[in-house]
């Protein structure tokens, strides 16, 4: 297979849906020789912030000189973003070659009576094989969905399990209460392991984390936000004092990123203290300063101000709204929004639409997209000026025509939308 054929094969399994459970991925990896058993993992679950926390941990370890695999989802523009080593995407030829081998093993697996692996299971197996062949020192592994039955949870006890902010999302899979969702996330906590927890965790979620950890005899470390003092918080990024590290710089936007950073640093402290891994304070400082996590409160342009954010659940939208009201104080907002219909779009629209001077309802490129008409209809209850443009390119063009000196453009909702908008905007506009 070439690269395009390999991607077509992977995406062709999308129709199999998302089947939670470890039987299939275990069977596939066994046939492959269990590459995951030769790797050392930091396993990251959570509702919000798990991607940026993953990126921070990987950046710090890379700065120390280690060869670091980073596995994330979904991608923003390029599928290969999901599988990286030291910030470099997997090579197209290498991806095609490994997928060609995996395809033969999947045929064997199906002949043995197992179900055909899902899209996510194939991608996870591909990543494990790649990291193994490339002899990664460490792999920072982001959970796809939930934790307990997620394909990534096929790994044995990781060096550290990490649980970022937990809130309501993916209820059709994970449960309808914060406790049920937390229980699924806690599936990555392994017997006699160590778990690091986001400092501003929901109280009910934290109780579940503590209970599961107690049952598994796992050590719980809650990141300490009391050592934090934010010194500068602008659209340029964050500077905060974190004892005993002194001033730390972060090129990400939004106060919540400080707490994600504190979580990442706590993970590094655990790796040093309990795993004997050498990581200097200098590597922590430089790693945080260099971290890159596109599509999350990302400033694409300052003239005009154009910000994109993949907030797609109510907790993410609330954090975004807080940031926008802070950073763009006194500016009128042109809001471009597109959502998937299996998200809590009503709550998200009700929360963010009132801040818009003009709201443009559009659609992500997905068969799960909520129509622009439906989004616009709901938004009109909260915003006096709503326009519907189902094509995201037309939505951007419309916003750019309407923007003036006292206005800023904000695009939010599905990451499927944000990725498309990011690509299109950069093709027509230079920062």
Q: What stretch of H or E contains 89?
A: strand 88-89
| Whether residue 251 is found in the same domain as residue 392 | no
| Whether residue 184 is found in the same domain as residue 257 | yes
Q: Kindly report the CA angle at 91 between 128 and 155, in degrees rounded to 5?
A: 10
286 has a pLDDT exceeding 60: yes
Both tokens assigned to 353: 């639409």
Sheet holding 68-71, edge to edge: 88-89, 83-85, 68-71, 138-142, 41-45, 160-163, 194-197, 219-222
| Whether residue 97 is found in the same domain as residue 211 | yes
Calculated CA dihedral for residues 308, 314, 316, 318, nearest 10 degrees: 90
Average confidence (pLDDT) over 393-409: 94
| Whether residue 65 is found in the same domain as residue 146 | yes
pLDDT of residue 370: 96
**What are the pLDDT digits (tens) for 90-115?**
999 999 999 999 999 999 999 999 99
Give the pLDDT band of residue 428 (cuts 50, 70, 90). confident
| Whether residue 43 is found in the same domain as residue 188 | yes
| Whether residue 119 is found in the same domain as residue 73 | yes
pTM of the model: 0.94
Query: Which of 243, 274, 290 is where one domain is finished?
Result: 290
Domain containing 368 — which CATH number? 3.90.190.20
Who has greater pLDDT, 130 or 302?
Answer: 130
Give the pLDDT band of residue 194 (cuts 50, 70, 90). very high
Average confidence (pLDDT) over 157-182: 87
Please tell me whether the peptide bond between 244 and the residue prior to it is cis, using omega within 30 degrees of 0. Answer: yes
Average confidence (pLDDT) over 399-427: 93
| Whether residue 318 is found in the same domain as residue 390 | yes
Rounded to the nearest integer, the mean pLDDT of the chain is 94
Query: Which of 232, 264, 290 is where one domain is finished?
Result: 290
**What are the pLDDT digits (tens) for 49-82?**
999 999 999 999 999 999 999 999 989 999 999 9
200 has a pLDDT exceeding 60: yes
140 has a pLDDT exceeding 80: yes
431 has a pLDDT exceeding 50: no
Average confidence (pLDDT) over 326-354: 95
User: With contact defined as beta carbons under 8 Å apart, do 339 and 348 qualify?
Assistant: yes
Question: What whole-number percentage of the chain has pLDDT above 70?
Answer: 97
| Whether residue 268 is found in the same domain as residue 372 | no
User: With contact defined as beta carbons under 8 Å apart, do 317 and 393 qualify?
Assistant: no
Q: Count of alpha carbons within 13 Å of 122, Cβ hemisphere only?
A: 30
Q: How many domains does the chain have?
A: 2
pLDDT of residue 15: 64
19 has a pLDDT exceeding 70: no
| Whether residue 285 is found in the same domain as residue 319 | no
| Whether residue 257 is found in the same domain as residue 236 | yes
389 has a pLDDT exceeding 60: yes
| Strand locations in 227-277 (E) | 228-234, 237-242, 247-250
| Whether residue 225 is found in the same domain as residue 120 | yes
337 has a pLDDT exceeding 90: yes
Q: Which domain holds residue 359?
A: 298-428
| Whether residue 89 is found in the same domain as residue 51 | yes
Query: Which of 248, 267, 290 is where one domain is finished?
Result: 290
Whole-angstrom distance, CA of residue 224 vs CA of residue 376: 42
169 has a pLDDT exceeding 90: no
Domain containing 210 — which CATH number? 3.40.1190.10
Please tell me whether the peptide bond between 399 and the residue prior to it is cis, using omega within 30 degrees of 0. Answer: no
Give the pLDDT band of residue 168 (cuts 50, 70, 90). confident
pLDDT of residue 171: 63
267-275 long-range contacts, CB within 8 A, separation 24+: 267/42, 267/53, 267/57, 267/160, 267/162, 267/196, 268/57, 268/60, 268/61, 270/159, 270/160, 270/194, 270/196, 270/221, 271/42, 271/159, 271/160, 274/194, 275/159, 275/160
């Amino acid at each position: 297979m070439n690269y395009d054929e390999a991607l077509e094969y992977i995406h062709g399994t999308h129709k199999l849906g998302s089947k939670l459970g470890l039987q299939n991925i275990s069977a596939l990896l066994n046939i492959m020789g269990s590459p995951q058993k030769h790797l050392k993992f930091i396993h990251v679950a959570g509702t919000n912030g798990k991607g940026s926390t993953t990126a921070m941990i990987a950046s710090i370890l890379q700065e120390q000189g280690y060869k670091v695999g980073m596995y994330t989802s979904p991608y923003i523009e390029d599928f290969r973003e999901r599988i990286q080593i030291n910030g470099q995407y997997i090579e197209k030829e290498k991806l095609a070659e490994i997928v060609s081998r995996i395809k033969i093993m999947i045929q064997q697996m199906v002949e043995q009576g197992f179900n055909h692996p899902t899209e996510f299971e194939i991608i996870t197996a591909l990543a494990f094989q790649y990291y193994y062949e490339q002899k990664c020192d460490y792999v920072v592994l982001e959970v796809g969905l939930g934790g307990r039955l997620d394909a990534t949870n096929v790994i044995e006890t990781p060096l550290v399990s990490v649980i970022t902010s937990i809130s309501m999302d993916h209820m059709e899979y994970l449960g309808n209460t914060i406790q049920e969702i937390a229980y699924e996330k806690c599936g990555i906590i392994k017997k006699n392991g160590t778990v690091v927890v986001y400092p501003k965790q929901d109280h009910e979620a934290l109780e579940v984390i503590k209970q599961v950890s107690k049952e598994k005899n796992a050590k719980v470390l809650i990141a300490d936000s009391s050592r934090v003092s934010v010194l500068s918080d602008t659209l340029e990024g964050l500077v905060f004092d974190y004892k005993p590290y002194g001033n730390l710089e972060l090129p990400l936007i939004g106060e919540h990123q400080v707490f994600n950073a504190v979580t990442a640093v706590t993970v590094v402290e655990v790796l040093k203290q309990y795993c004997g891994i050498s990581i200097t304070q200098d590597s922590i400082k430089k790693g945080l300063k260099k971290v890159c996590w596109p599509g999350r409160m990302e400033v694409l342009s300052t003239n005009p101000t154009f910000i994109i954010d993949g907030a797609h659940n109510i907790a993410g939208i609330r954090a975004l709204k807080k940031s926008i009201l802070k950073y763009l104080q006194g500016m009128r907002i042109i809001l471009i929004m597109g959502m998937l219909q299996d998200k809590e779009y009503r709550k998200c629209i009700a929360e963010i639409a009132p801040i818009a001077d003009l709201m443009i309802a559009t659609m992500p490129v997905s068969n799960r997209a909520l129509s622009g008409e439906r989004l616009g209809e709901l938004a009109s209850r909260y915003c006096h000026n709503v326009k519907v443009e189902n094509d995201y390119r037309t939505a951007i063009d419309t916003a750019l025509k309407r923007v003036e000196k006292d206005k800023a453009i904000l695009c939010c909702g599905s990451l499927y939308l944000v990725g498309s908008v990011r690509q299109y905007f950069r093709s027509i506009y230079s920062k």
